[in-house]
Structure 1
Amino acid sequence: MTARTTHLDPAVRASMQALSAAAKKGLGDPALAELVQIRASQLNHCAFCLDMHLAIARKQGVDESRLDLLNAWEEAGEVFDERERAALALTEAVTVLTEGFVPDEVWERAARHFDEARLAHLLALITVINSWNRLMVSRRIPAGSMEW
């Protein structure tokens, strides 16, 4: 597959990268940030983002079995703790918006594990990875591309 276009306004790219960095920093858990970004990218079928965030997660030492089972996190038993499960449930709810909103029980579950500031950063991270996914998938940027 070849990209439809690799053009992305430099100011847009810089702004989105800054938003991503701020959300990750505020969340305060680099491994969880990567799991969230990988899960959203799986749901959005973004090969570029999957390739990038899987590589980052591996560099951070995220266990390979956790990466292998992320697509089935709900059935993965003790592989993911309750805090991670809450973040992944929120990721799916925000990414898919099946019923047009995030269900209260999903939000409340996440709120039990994250204080208000960290929850806000988690939501920002989910939002920005979804934006990145849509930019990359729409433009058909292939995995591993150096031009995007």
Structure 2
Amino acid sequence: MTETLSRPTTRINLNRVSPEVYEAMVALNNAAAKDLDPGLAELIKIRASQLNHCAFCLDMHTHDARKRGETEQRIYLLSAWREAGDLYAEPEKAALALTEEMTDLPGGDHVSDEVYARAAEAFGERELGQVIAMVLTINAWNRIGVTTRLRAPRRH
């Protein structure tokens, strides 16, 4: 018989106990979003949050994507974007591939040359830098969310 550990129901509120860290994260998020298409940013945030199992961020960013006009179909199929044909544009596919490799580093140590080259071809240097920054930012937010067990609000 496997013993299960009880999960604490309350964990720290990082914003309350470390406001300077929270403020730095908000500043990083704002810097990463600068000059990046907001719709692409939401796709990146949703895909990384799916991979990281961050329910709070998934709820927030799917809600935000809908407010920006993203379709239900594209949100639902995001986890299978490779199989979704031409539903996503090439720059989106390149950003999603980069998001996946940065989030779950293959072999634990690098982003492949192929994925990086695809992203570098799809974006100019500035925009590629912003895509990379957005991926690392949402991964940091996801780590905060899953560690502190942030809960998605119930929507009616």
Q: TM-score range by the shorter chain?
A: over 0.9
The 5-angstrom pairing of residues 50-61 of structure 1 reads 50-61=58-69
SS in 1 for 2:53: coil
User: For residues 3 and 54 of structure 1, do their structure 2 counterparts lie closer, same or farther at Cα, with a shift above 3 Å needed?
Assistant: farther
Cα deviation for residue 127 of structure 1 reads 0.2
Question: Which residue does 1:6 correspond to in 2?
Answer: 13
Identity %, equivalent residues: 53
What amino acid maps onto 1:41 in structure 2? S
Q: Deviations over 1:57-112 (max 9, x none)?
A: 01000111100100100101111011100000000000000221000000000000
**TM-score, length-normalised on structure 2?**
0.88
Q: 1:96 aligns with which of 96, 104, 107?
A: 104
Equivalent residue pairs, number: 144
Q: In the alignment, is the contact (CA less than 8 A) between 2:42 and 2:62 conserved in 1?
A: yes
What amino acid maps onto 2:12 in structure 1? T
Question: Which residue does 1:20 correspond to in 2?
Answer: 29
Cα deviation for residue 22 of structure 1 reads 1.5
Are positions 1:35 and 2:43 aligned together? yes
Cα deviation for residue 24 of structure 1 reads 1.2
Q: Deviations over 1:101-128 (max 9, x none)?
A: 0000000000001111110111010001
Q: Unpaired segments of 5 or more residues in structure 1?
A: none
Cα deviation for residue 48 of structure 1 reads 0.5
**TM-score, length-normalised on structure 1?**
0.93
Distance 2:63 2:138 in 1: 16
Where do 4+ consecutive residues of structure 1 move more than 6 Å? none
CA RMSD for the aligned pairs? 1.4
Q: Unpaired segments of 5 or more residues in structure 2?
A: 1-6
Q: In the alignment, is the contact (CA less than 8 A) between 2:39 and 2:68 conserved in 1?
A: yes
> Which of structures 1 and 2 has the bigger CA Rg?
2
Are positions 1:71 and 2:79 aligned together? yes
If asked which structure has higher relative contact order (CA below 8 Å, sep 6+), I would say: 1
